[in-house]
Amino acid sequence: MARASKPRKAAPSAAEKPVKEPEKDTEPVINLPRSISVRQLAEMLDIDAISIIKQLMRNGIMANINQIVDYETAASIVTSLGYKPHLAPIKDQLMATAAEEGKRRKRKYGKDSENLILRPPVVTVMGHVDHGKTKLLDAIRKTNVVDSEAGGITQHIGAYQVTIDGQKITFLDTPGHEAFTAMRAHGANITDVTILVVAADDGVMPQTKEAINHARAAEVPIVVAINKIDKDNANPNLVKQQLTEAGLVIEEWGGNIVCVEVSAKEKKGIKELLESVLLVAEMEDLKANPNLPAAGIVIEAEMDKTMGPLATVLMQSGTLKEEDTVVVGTTWGRVRAMFNEARKRIKKAEPSMPVEILGLGSVPKVGDTLVAVADERHAQAILDRRRAELEQEALKRKTVNLDNLFDQISTGTVKELNVILKTDVQGSIEPIMTSLERLGTDEVKVRIIHSAAGEISESDVMLAAASNGLIIGFSVNASEGARRLAATTGIDIRFYNIIYTLIDDVDKALKGLLEPKYVEVIEGRADVRAVFSAGKGVKAAGVLVSEGKITRNVSVRVRRGKEILADSTVSSLKRFKDDAKEVATGYECGVGVKDFNDFKVGDVLEFYKMEKSGK
Ligand code: GDP
């Protein structure tokens, strides 16, 4: 999968080839107003203003970034960058500034142009483990293989297209909501429709609900596939009832959720499922302009020993062609060759098509965007700007947390507080959820995007990152992986044991009254292996440090299963007979806990510090 790569300025070997001039009839048109500032023009073209200033200097015009230039001057610049200038009608000029128009064009893939065509929907498959996601993706892939190709095809990339009734559908081949949300956390909301697989013999399970919430948070429509209907104990009606309880009311029962019964094993119902996907997609009105400069999103990337950097890109707009110069994330290159999922060489890639490309300078990251540009000079200008922006973003990137919530509400950054709620038991969810949702004000609404009983997982953190939300844990812990991910992504996890305090904190945060918060930082965990006497009726625990480290003067919790027996401080820490300052993972030591003597083999000690939340 993807590896982070250092930006590299040097051109890839293929870059020595002569630059291909963009064909006249495919030159993208840019609408320019009568006059425009250098800054606005740079924004519109997505390049550094300096490049424009330099170009103006070449034409004998000394300009600064705020300088207003006339249409003729702006037109000569955009022409030199491979665009076709067009004087925007006065009406349009009055409606929007040029910069806004540029942004709008980008957002809508040129919806203002007349060249929009329908593009295939991009589909992911989600659902509970073992409900048949992989098998279904397999069945769909095989349904499509033309007989002559059967057996000969091996899929090389993590996406494929099928054709049904003459229409194409693109499937992303990594099933599961973790992958789906990981892409969203990378900033890539590429799924148009999701298929929720529910096994007819097992029904709606925790991960089914999780998948529903992940799809909802992304506002992606769901098509339900009730799978394994070939099984004797299949009970599709029970599944439909459970789906209704989970908030998905199927059409047959008066709702709007399309539901198809399938057997991935016997390849039954696959065609109906695909037709339903097309039906739902049709309502989404998925269009793209194949005449714009190509743009796409990296869904996989790797370094191939013989071929060099390879990236699988899901095309979003425009048409990518061999020899096109592209900027991808913080690297660039010229497309030396393109392959489809069967590693067949192709000459062009249209919107929604997954394509593997060869010729980049280095391996990009998953979620990076690809854009085709006129030439190397333009590529470098975009790269310079992107790198500068990345540095800026890293400096100011702020996720929402209870401490900065009020500031974010005041500045209008946050209008909805997205909360992921994890509790010890199912019964706690409802009262907390209702109280939290009641706290909403005119400025900000509290929205519970996912709630479930159980430990806070990496998937929860990923969902929070993708939805700019925070996580509230009520009488639950977070897995080590989740804590680590939260620390790197800056996601706020709040732990509470008392409902009142939880509600009060969120209420105060919404009103901007919350005192600076001290948050718990777990330093280490240790398993109790033996219990021994430390004199005068005092007991100490012989432990093995399983995670992190133990230091003196920290807080410690004694856990037995789900129960917390003590929340106190470390009173003694010894290695053999000597006092120790610090004991690391994998070492044994003796630990005394203040005012606690009731250790048992199997207890877990959790060492933590309270630190001021620095966010
Ligand atoms: P995933 O974890 O959701 O990807 O599930 P898999 O695709 O790996 O399937 C889990 C198990 O269910 C495998 O043993 C499959 O062979 C089986 N399975 C999947 N679909 C069907 C089906 O339609 N009918 C039957 N009887 N078994 C199925």
Q: CATH assignment of 29-109, given 1.10.10, 3.90.550, 3.30.70, 3.40.50?
A: 1.10.10
The CATH code of domain 520-612 reads: 2.40.30.10
Q: Which two tokens stand for residue 469?
A: 């939300």
CA gap 479, 460 in Å, rounded: 11
Would the CATH topology of 29-109 be identical to that of 405-515?
Answer: no
Instruction: Please tell me which residue, 211 or 148, carries the higher pLDDT value.
Output: 211
pLDDT-wise least confident of 48-62, 254-268, 318-332: 48-62
pLDDT at residue number 8: 35
CA of 432 to the centre of ligand 1 (A): 36
Mean pLDDT for 194-218 is 92
Nearest atom in ligand 1 to the alpha carbon of residue 263 is: 23
Distance from the CA of 342 to the center of ligand 1, in angstroms?
Answer: 24
Residue 554 has pLDDT above 80, yes or no: yes
Rg (CA), the chain: 29
CATH code for the domain defined by 405-515: 3.40.50.10050
On the question of pLDDT at 58 being above 70, the answer is: yes
Please state the atom number of ligand 1 nearest to the C-alpha of residue 262: 23
- Predicted confidence (pLDDT) per residue in 393-419, tens digit: 554 456 777 777 777 777 666 778 889
Extract the runs of DSSP E, i.e. beta strands, from 424-517.
445-453, 470-474, 493-496
Which protein residue's CA is at the shortest distance from atom 11 of ligand 1? 130
Separation of alpha carbons 143 and 189, rounded Å: 27
* pLDDT number for residue 264: 96
CATH topology of domain 295-392: Elongation Factor Tu (Ef-tu); domain 3 (2.40.30)
Q: Which of 296, 342, 338 is nearest to 317 (CA)?
A: 296
Give the residue-averaged pLDDT of 300-326.
Answer: 90
Residue nearest to ligand 1 atom 24, measured at CA: 228
SS3 498: coil
All structural domains of the chain with their residue ranges: 29-109, 118-288, 295-392, 405-515, 520-612
Q: Mean pLDDT across the stretch 81-89?
A: 76
Mutate to test the pocket of ligand 1, among 135, 235, 262 (most ligand atoms within 8 A of CB): 135
Q: What is 118-288's CATH number?
A: 3.40.50.300
Provide the whole-model pTM. 0.59
- Indicate whether 31 pLDDT > 90: no
Q: Which helix (H) or strand (E) holds 106?
A: helix 98-107
Ligand 1 atom closest to Cα of 129?
A: 2
- Which of the four pLDDT bands, split at 50, 70 and 90, describes residue 600? very high
331 Cα: distance to centroid of ligand 1 (angstroms): 40
Residue 344 has pLDDT above 60, yes or no: yes
User: Measured in angstroms, how far is the CA atom of residue 229 from the centroid of ligand 1?
Assistant: 11
Q: pLDDT, tens digit, for every residue of 476-529?
A: 999 988 888 888 778 889 999 988 889 988 888 887 766 556 677 888 999 999
Cα dihedral 456, 459, 463, 469, rounded to 10, equals: 20
Dist. CA 244 → ligand 1 center (Å): 24
- Atom 25 in ligand 1: residue holding the nearest Cα: 228
> What's the gap in Å between 152 CA and the centre of ligand 1?
24
Q: Ligand 1 pocket, 177 CB below 6 A? A: no
State the DSSP string of 25-70.
GGPPEEEE-SEEEHHHHHHHHTS-HHHHHHHHHHTT----TT-EEE
- Sign, CA dihedral 173-348-110-37, equals positive
364 C-alpha to center of ligand 1: Å?
34
Residue 18 predicted with pLDDT over 60:
no
Tell me, using a 6 A CB cutoff, whether residue 268 lines ligand 1. Answer: no
The model's confidence at residue 145, banded by pLDDT at 50, 70 and 90, is low
Half-sphere exposure of 471 (CA within 13 A, CB side): 34
pLDDT, mean over the chain = 82
Please tell me the distance between residue 261's alpha carbon and the centre of ligand 1 in angstroms: 14
Residue 328: which pLDDT band, with cuts at 50, 70 and 90?
very high
pLDDT at position 4 is 37
Residue 539 dihedral angles phi and psi, to the nearest 5°: -110, 145
- Average pLDDT for 76-101: 60
> Is 233 within 8 Å of 197 (Cβ atoms)?
no
Provide the token pair at 229: 């209907």
pLDDT of residue 521: 82
What Å distances lie between residue 212 and 216, 248, 252, CA to CA? Answer: 6, 9, 19
- Inter-residue contact 371 to 386 (CB < 8 Å): no
